[in-house]
Structure 1
Amino acid sequence: MANSGAPTAGSRDDVLARLARLRLHQRDGRRSPHKPLLVLLSLGRLTTTGSSALPWSEAQVVLGDLVAEFGPASRTSRVQSAAYPFTRLRSDGIWVLDRDVPMDTVGPLTTRAVTGRLTREIETALADDPELLASAARALVDSHFPDTIAPDVLSAVGLDPDTIRRAADVVPDPSAATKRRRDPQWREMIIQAWDRQCAFCGFDGQILGATVGIDAAHVRWFALDGPDDPDNGLALCALHHKLFDRGVLGVDLDLRVHVSAIYSARTSAGRALYDLHGATLRARPGTAMPAGRHLKWHRQWVFKGRPLVV
């Protein structure tokens, strides 16, 4: 007998539940955004073209670039990084290929001109309900990326961040009741602990006595089970917070700031970032410094490539 509590196939709750299961591929802090990026890319195509169909000839470039930009640093080629989700998303029951090809193998994808797409059931449900599509996109991006990066990801896959966030509020996420809740006191606690200034550059802007342009940044992302603990936070200006979450900036175990060697700039404003390389974090006495386990997580899963050589 069928479980009366299970959502009906193709219903809003069913679609959102199926997509939410992609979160299970991230265990023990491991980042694996490849499949979510492919799904988000297919949602972008569905929004702009009316179909989620994605030929491998396009996916190997576009998806490969997305994984390189928004995924963890990897020695795997961009084409191989794209082949992994393009072939393996089939096992999640939400993606199909028009040719039967082996997992992870690039050659047959090219020679057989393979095209992938969301299953007909899911594509139809999403195409018929733009608010459901927006809710699915928001749930995916919020589960795999911090707020500093989410709008960039949505834009990169062809979705408008403002439209997605407004429309998504209309369709409740069935998993919302079981999601972790942020500590409402954490942000103020971190900013206060770092004397209301950026731990990297010292920016301490105020407007009418209120701190402005300073964020409380998680070292290990909250979306990836990072705790709201004092030793998992840094007060950072908005620019350096984003660059920290994009892997341009990092902190080693000796609490020295690192700039990634893949970063480059031409103007004096952009090149000023190089001056941060090697600077040591300094906080007022009693402030909890970032814990080694969180710094190691950031270095492995966020920081891009190698630090600058000085």
Structure 2
Amino acid sequence: MIHVVATKPWSRDEVLTQLASLRQHQQQGRRSPHKRLLVLLALGRLAAEGTSTLAWSATADKLADVIRDFGPPSSTSRTQSAAYPFTRLRSDEIWTLDHEVPNDNVRPLTEHEVVGRLIPELEEALKDPDIAGAAARQLVEAEFPPTIAPDVLTAVGLDPDLVLGAPGTAIPPRRRRGSWPAAILTAWDRQCAFCGFDGQLGAATVGVEAAHVRWFGFGGPDELDNGVALCSLHHKLFDHGVLGLGDDLRIIVSAGFTSRTSTGQTVYDLHHRPLRMRPGTPRPAAAHIAWHIDQVFKRPALTG
């Protein structure tokens, strides 16, 4: 049951520590962003309305949409995917429902018109914009690479410029290898492995980036066999799951991707195109490609 009582707000460190400890199923690199996406939706509601209250009837579709768009491929129904975090976030002791309902069960959520919200002491702390910004940043960076994080924040009703400019989190991140991006660009001749774009401004490469195949935040190493050079557009499409790699190192395009313009439809032309590889460049490892197909790529691929 929801009981709103006067409580002492948590400190910034308490908020970040509690949110960092959300129970997530990430064994063997599997992604499960459902709970964090729900908390981000609650933060978006809090920023807009001054309350984290989310009614199941008004939230189920939106939560299902962000899970579909930013979560791994899944055969689970939309409403079932949304019911999982809406009910199970209670076990993390930061979320409460106004009716006692079983975990993962959609029907009682609808029948009882269930409403959920963050617990009062957490909600009160998150009314501080600095704490809320740091919390949102920690949540989104724990699940998504920099190419995707702004899109996630926009989708849940938060301002990416404000959040991603927030103070650093209290939880130290895994350290990246600073030389890895330059090594990837060199190995791929400073051109996009998908389309060949090779922009330069003076001696500086512009619009071409080092992309992890298996995301860094999910065990992806900073090694040459876990990266390709991609233009900014194709890097984003790769991390969104629009583009992927087949076992034969040919590009595959998600059948879920659509475009109405001739410019956007050039993405279709990438389907089955081989990677542009410099002789001697290490091939992306099969294990990393398999992770991306399983956890990121929006199956099925185009046919033909």
TM class by shorter chain equals: over 0.9
User: Alpha-carbon deviation of 1:134?
Assistant: 0.4
Q: 1:208 to 1:298 in 2, by over 3 A?
A: same
Which amino acid counterpart does residue 300 of structure 1 have in structure 2? D
Q: What residue in structure 2 maps to residue 173 of structure 1?
A: 169
Quote the Cα distance in structure 2 between the aligned partners of 1:165 and 1:60: 26
Task: Specify which of 260, 267, 271 is matched with residue 273 of structure 1.
Answer: 267
Task: Specify which of 183, 187, 192 is matched with residue 177 of structure 2.
Answer: 183
Quote the Cα distance in structure 1 between the aligned partners of 2:81 and 2:87: 11
User: Alpha-carbon deviation of 1:27?
Assistant: 2.4
Quote the Cα distance in structure 2 between the aligned partners of 1:135 and 1:124: 15
Query: SS of 2:169's equivalent?
Result: coil
Q: What residue in structure 1 maps to residue 75 of structure 2?
A: 75
Quote the Cα distance in structure 1 between the aligned partners of 2:170 and 2:258: 43
Quote the Cα distance in structure 2 between the aligned partners of 1:234 and 1:137: 29
Quote the Cα distance in structure 1 between the aligned partners of 2:178 and 2:203: 21
Q: What residue in structure 1 maps to residue 133 of structure 2?
A: 134
Which amino acid counterpart does residue 108 of structure 1 have in structure 2? P
User: Alpha-carbon deviation of 1:97?
Assistant: 0.3
User: Alpha-carbon deviation of 1:253?
Assistant: 1.3
Q: Given that residues 137 and 163 in structure 2 are in contact (C-alpha distance below 8 angstroms), is that contact kept between their aligned partners in structure 1?
A: yes
Q: Given that residues 258 and 276 in structure 1 are in contact (C-alpha distance below 8 angstroms), is that contact kept between their aligned partners in structure 2?
A: yes
User: Alpha-carbon deviation of 1:23?
Assistant: 6.5
Which amino acid counterpart does residue 59 of structure 1 have in structure 2? T
* Further displaced range: 196-205 or 277-286: 277-286
Q: What residue in structure 2 maps to residue 147 of structure 1?
A: 146
Query: SS of 2:28's equivalent?
Result: coil
Q: What residue in structure 2 maps to residue 262 of structure 1?
A: 256
Quote the Cα distance in structure 2 between the aligned partners of 1:236 and 1:173: 29
User: Alpha-carbon deviation of 1:9?
Assistant: 7.9
Q: Given that residues 242 and 297 in structure 2 are in contact (C-alpha distance below 8 angstroms), is that contact kept between their aligned partners in structure 1?
A: yes
Quote the Cα distance in structure 2 between the aligned partners of 1:160 and 1:174: 21
User: Alpha-carbon deviation of 1:202?
Assistant: 0.4
Which amino acid counterpart does residue 170 of structure 2 have in structure 1? P
Per-residue Cα deviation, 1:175-210 (whole angstroms, up to 9, x for no partner): 12xx21111100000011000000000001111232
Which amino acid counterpart does residue 233 of structure 1 have in structure 2? G
Q: Given that residues 25 and 32 in structure 2 are in contact (C-alpha distance below 8 angstroms), is that contact kept between their aligned partners in structure 1?
A: yes
Q: What residue in structure 2 maps to residue 5 of structure 1?
A: none
Quote the Cα distance in structure 1 between the aligned partners of 2:114 and 2:212: 40
Matches within 5 A, 1:1-310: 10-22=10-22, 24-127=24-127, 129-166=128-165, 168-169=166-167, 172-176=168-172, 179-310=173-304
- Alpha-carbon RMSD: 1.2
Q: Given that residues 38 and 63 in structure 1 are in contact (C-alpha distance below 8 angstroms), is that contact kept between their aligned partners in structure 2?
A: yes
Q: 1:121 to 1:85 in 2, by over 3 A?
A: same
TM-score, normalization: structure 2? 0.95
Per-residue Cα deviation, 1:229-248 (whole angstroms, up to 9, x for no partner): 10000000000000000000
Q: What residue in structure 2 maps to residue 4 of structure 1?
A: none
Quote the Cα distance in structure 1 between the aligned partners of 2:276 and 2:201: 24
Which amino acid counterpart does residue 238 of structure 1 have in structure 2? S
Quote the Cα distance in structure 1 between the aligned partners of 2:288 and 2:20: 25
Query: SS of 2:29's equivalent?
Result: coil
User: Alpha-carbon deviation of 1:32?
Assistant: 0.1
Per-residue Cα deviation, 1:222-279 (whole angstroms, up to 9, x for no partner): 1112110100000000000000000000001110100001111121101111111001
Q: What residue in structure 1 maps to residue 5 of structure 2?
A: none
Quote the Cα distance in structure 2 between the aligned partners of 1:243 and 1:47: 29
Aligned length: 297
Which amino acid counterpart does residue 184 of structure 2 have in structure 1? I
TM-score, normalization: structure 1? 0.94
Quote the Cα distance in structure 2 between the aligned partners of 1:214 and 1:187: 10
Q: Given that residues 23 and 143 in structure 1 are in contact (C-alpha distance below 8 angstroms), is that contact kept between their aligned partners in structure 2?
A: no
Q: Given that residues 9 and 124 in structure 2 are in contact (C-alpha distance below 8 angstroms), is that contact kept between their aligned partners in structure 1?
A: no
Q: What residue in structure 1 maps to residue 4 of structure 2?
A: none
Per-residue Cα deviation, 1:99-130 (whole angstroms, up to 9, x for no partner): 00000000000010000000111001111x21
Q: What residue in structure 2 maps to residue 3 of structure 1?
A: none
Quote the Cα distance in structure 2 between the aligned partners of 1:216 and 1:305: 24
